[in-house]
């Protein structure tokens, strides 16, 4: 379904020649994404990695262009869906009456305020790009587990964004300050201190007046279901150690000199009860740069760059409840203090660090940890991975959720449709020094094997039901009508409120709601 020539011309007049394409090749490419086959199957469609094909793809370069394009979408009743770096099914249109806004040309770091610890970015600045520029000021930014190649703007406005450094850098949803937001009707909204009449600036996300941050993104973001974010301020943090970062050698065996004040700990807690005690105690001390529970399989993966090297790490695979902690410091005094605390806690909790004894990682691991590249190792075994369930809660509830899911997962492992991780595949990270936690039940499947795809989708569906029956909260990926209607009635009927928000902000239902919620009147 292509655009009528006259309509295409109107769009082209906004962005200029070469910045809109309605050809079948370009549009079909934008219909493809990772895990789309899973979501298709869950929606009762064929399990193929292609979604609906958009009518066209447009490349705006300014907020004003975005505004004009959205107004045209309203004028002609065509839905729009924005994407930046574009990883994941959430970027896909839910209907072929849709135009994709690829935000690639909006790629500026607008401002780095090193004194007030924030940076203002456009949609197509990648995490790695932002990080390397703020490192020049001795600073760091948060990056989601998806990796340094994804957009911090997309993560902070429209997703959730937990990452390996969440204990020290929070998570994307909590790092967003002021935003510039083009609403579904084309109105430009400035939230937070950027909306002030006098001296607007980006340092604060709330007010003036009531904060709209909850409406803007809520728990898991609207995935472009409520307009398009064109600029955002994100929090910055001190870089955890010195910034003399220099990777030498050749891919994939890069060499790296481990910063002087950095130390990795991996302890086998033996069981979830002890793990919970240990992780809460360590986080109470606010000393970790990274602090995660990783199932044994995931621990093997973060130190590997091939399936062969992954399966070679048997010593790591024997652990029951591994706790991975990375401490880093900028001064010897700070480092000594952190080590002293760790020594004390290890002794008190009767835990042993296996690093340097049972296992010594290659130095590149530390470089990847600093550049938030560890999540991508999850794709090594089969080429694809998805989180079946999980969410944000206390350590106790998160671990209970993982434990309760294990027997279910084992059934699917027995069927041979997902990889055998002993049913325990999960990653749990502390948020903000243990104030609460994030858990994802990582599951490895084969995207080129139909029975694996459908098996994985069935397992995810059953996991959601289990979450409901066992009162484990909403899963990480609670999105789209089906999921909101499933969980809403059990959670204060939030879905009714969400629909009201959608209806108020998007009266013409133009902002594609495939991964958000459709308005009440639909």
Question: Smallest distance, Å, CB 218 to other proteins?
Answer: 26
Phi then psi for residue 100, to 5 deg, are -85, 130
| Position 432 contacts other proteins (CB under 8 A) | no
| Position 384 contacts other proteins (CB under 8 A) | yes
| Position 387 contacts other proteins (CB under 8 A) | no
Residue with tokens 């309605």: 22
492: tokens are 């204060």
- Applying CB under 8 A, among 2, 95, 129, 509 the residue interacting with other proteins is 129
| Position 87 contacts other proteins (CB under 8 A) | yes
Question: Smallest distance, Å, CB 149 to other proteins?
Answer: 5
Q: How far apart are CA 265 and CA 279, in angstroms?
A: 12
- Applying CB under 8 A, among 7, 14, 30, 264 the residue interacting with other proteins is 30
- What is the CA 342 to chain-centroid distance, rounded? 29
| Position 126 contacts other proteins (CB under 8 A) | yes
- Specify burial of residue 280 (Cβ count, 10 A radius: 0-12, 13-18, 19+): middle
Choice between 159 and 278, CB closer to other proteins? 159
| Position 361 contacts other proteins (CB under 8 A) | no
Residue with tokens 């009508």: 481
Q: Give, as ranges, the residues between 254 and 293 that touch other proteins (CB under 8 A).
A: 254, 256
| Position 445 contacts other proteins (CB under 8 A) | yes
- Applying CB under 8 A, among 45, 71, 104, 411 the residue interacting with other proteins is 104
- Applying CB under 8 A, among 32, 203, 237, 337 the residue interacting with other proteins is 32
79-83 and 98-102 beta bridge pairing: parallel
- Applying CB under 8 A, among 211, 339, 420, 509 the residue interacting with other proteins is 420
Residue with tokens 């064929």: 46
Q: Give, as ranges, the residues between 230 and 249 that touch other proteins (CB under 8 A).
A: 247
User: What Rg, from alpha-carbon coordinates, does the chain have?
Assistant: 23
| Position 321 contacts other proteins (CB under 8 A) | no
Of the candidate spans 197-205, 288-296, 413-421, 465-473, the one that interacts with other proteins by CB under 8 A turns out to be 413-421
| Position 141 contacts other proteins (CB under 8 A) | no
Q: Got the DSSP string for 244-285?
A: ---EEEETTEEEEPPPTTEEEEEEE-SSHHHHHHHHHHHHHT
Question: Smallest distance, Å, CB 377 to other proteins?
Answer: 6
Choice between 304 and 511, CB closer to other proteins? 304
| Position 179 contacts other proteins (CB under 8 A) | no
Asked if residue 91 lies in contact with residue 83, where contact means CB atoms within 8 angstroms, the answer is yes
Asked if residue 448 lies in contact with residue 376, where contact means CB atoms within 8 angstroms, the answer is no
DSSP-derived 3-state class of residue 298: helix
Asked if residue 174 lies in contact with residue 192, where contact means CB atoms within 8 angstroms, the answer is no
Residue with tokens 């809109």: 20
Of the candidate spans 147-155, 224-232, 467-475, 513-521, the one that interacts with other proteins by CB under 8 A turns out to be 147-155
Q: How far apart are CA 465 and CA 388, in angstroms?
A: 11
| Position 493 contacts other proteins (CB under 8 A) | no
Question: Smallest distance, Å, CB 228 to other proteins?
Answer: 17
| Position 373 contacts other proteins (CB under 8 A) | yes
Choice between 444 and 477, CB closer to other proteins? 444
Asked if residue 169 lies in contact with residue 140, where contact means CB atoms within 8 angstroms, the answer is yes
Residue 255 bridge partners (DSSP) = 248
- Applying CB under 8 A, among 138, 200, 238, 383 the residue interacting with other proteins is 383
Report how many residues bind other proteins under the rule CB under 8 A.
Answer: 76
| Position 250 contacts other proteins (CB under 8 A) | yes
Q: Got the DSSP string for 198-250?
A: SS--SS--S-SSS--HHHHHTTT--TTBTBEEEEEEEEEEE-SS-----EEEE
- Applying CB under 8 A, among 116, 187, 271, 307 the residue interacting with other proteins is 307
Question: Smallest distance, Å, CB 343 to other proteins?
Answer: 30
322: tokens are 């591994």
Q: Give, as ranges, the residues between 36 and 55 that touch other proteins (CB under 8 A).
A: 48-50
Q: How far apart are CA 320 and CA 423, in angstroms?
A: 12
């Amino acid at each position: 379904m292509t655009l009528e020539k006259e309509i295409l011309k109107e769009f082209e007049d906004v962005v200029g020649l070469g910045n809109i394409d309605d050809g079948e090749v370009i549009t079909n490419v934008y219909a493809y994404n990772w895990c789309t086959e899973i979501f298709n199957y869950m929606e009762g469609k064929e399990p193929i990695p292609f979604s609906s094909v958009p009518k066209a793809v447009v490349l705006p370069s300014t907020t004003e262009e975005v505004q004009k394009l959205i107004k045209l979408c309203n004028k002609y009743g065509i839905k729009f869906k924005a994407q930046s770096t574009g990883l994941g099914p959430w970027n896909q249109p839910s209907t072929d009456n849709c135009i994709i806004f690829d935000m690639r040309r909006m790629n500026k770091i607008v401002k780095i305020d090193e004194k007030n610890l924030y940076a203002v970015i456009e949609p197509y600045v990648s995490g790695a790009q932002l990080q390397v520029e703020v490192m020049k000021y001795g600073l760091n930014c948060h990056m989601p587990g998806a990796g340094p190649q994804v957009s911090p703007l997309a993560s902070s406005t429209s997703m959730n964004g937990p990452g390996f450094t969440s204990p020290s850098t929070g998570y994307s949803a909590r790092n967003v300050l002021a935003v510039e937001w083009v609403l579904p009707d084309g109105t430009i909204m400035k939230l937070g201190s950027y909306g002030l009449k006098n001296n607007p600036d980006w340092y604060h996300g709330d007010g003036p007046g009531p904060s709209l941050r909850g409406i803007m993104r809520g728990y898991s973001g609207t995935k472009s279901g409520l307009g398009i974010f064109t600029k955002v301020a994100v929090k910055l943090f001190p870089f955890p150690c010195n910034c003399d970062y220099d990777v030498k050698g050749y891919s994939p065996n890069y060499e790296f000199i481990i910063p002087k004040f950095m130390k990795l700990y991996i302890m086998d807690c033996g069981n979830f009860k002890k793990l919970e005690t240990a992780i809460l105690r360590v986080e109470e001390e606010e000393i970790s740069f990274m602090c995660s529970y990783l199932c044994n399989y995931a621990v093997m993966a973060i130190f590997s760059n091939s399936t062969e090297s992954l399966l070679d790490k048997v010593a790591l695979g024997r652990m029951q409840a591994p706790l991975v902690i990375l401490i880093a410091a900028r001064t010897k005094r700070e480092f000594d203090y952190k080590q002293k605390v760790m020594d004390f806690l290890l002794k008190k909790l009767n835990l042993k660090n296996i690093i340097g004894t049972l296992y010594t990682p290659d130095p590149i691991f530390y470089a990847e940890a600093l550049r938030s590249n560890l999540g991508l190792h999850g794709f090594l075994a089969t080429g694809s991975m998805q989180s079946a369930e999980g969410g944000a809660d206390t350590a106790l509830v998160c671990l209970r959720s993982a434990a309760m899911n294990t027997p279910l997962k084992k059934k699917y492992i027995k069927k041979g449709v997902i990889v055998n991780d002993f049913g325990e595949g999960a990653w749990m990270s502390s948020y903000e020094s243990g104030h609460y936690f994030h858990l994802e039940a990582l599951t490895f499947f084969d995207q080129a094997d139909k029975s694996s795809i459908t098996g994985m989708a069935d397992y995810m569906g059953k996991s959601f039901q289990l979450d409901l029956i066992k009162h484990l909260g909403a899963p990480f990926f609670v999105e789209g009508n089906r999921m909101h209607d499933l969980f809403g009635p059990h959670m204060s009927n939030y879905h009714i409120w969400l629909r009201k928000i959608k209806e108020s902000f998007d009266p013409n239902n133009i902002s594609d709601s495939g991964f958000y919620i459709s308005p009440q009147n639909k």
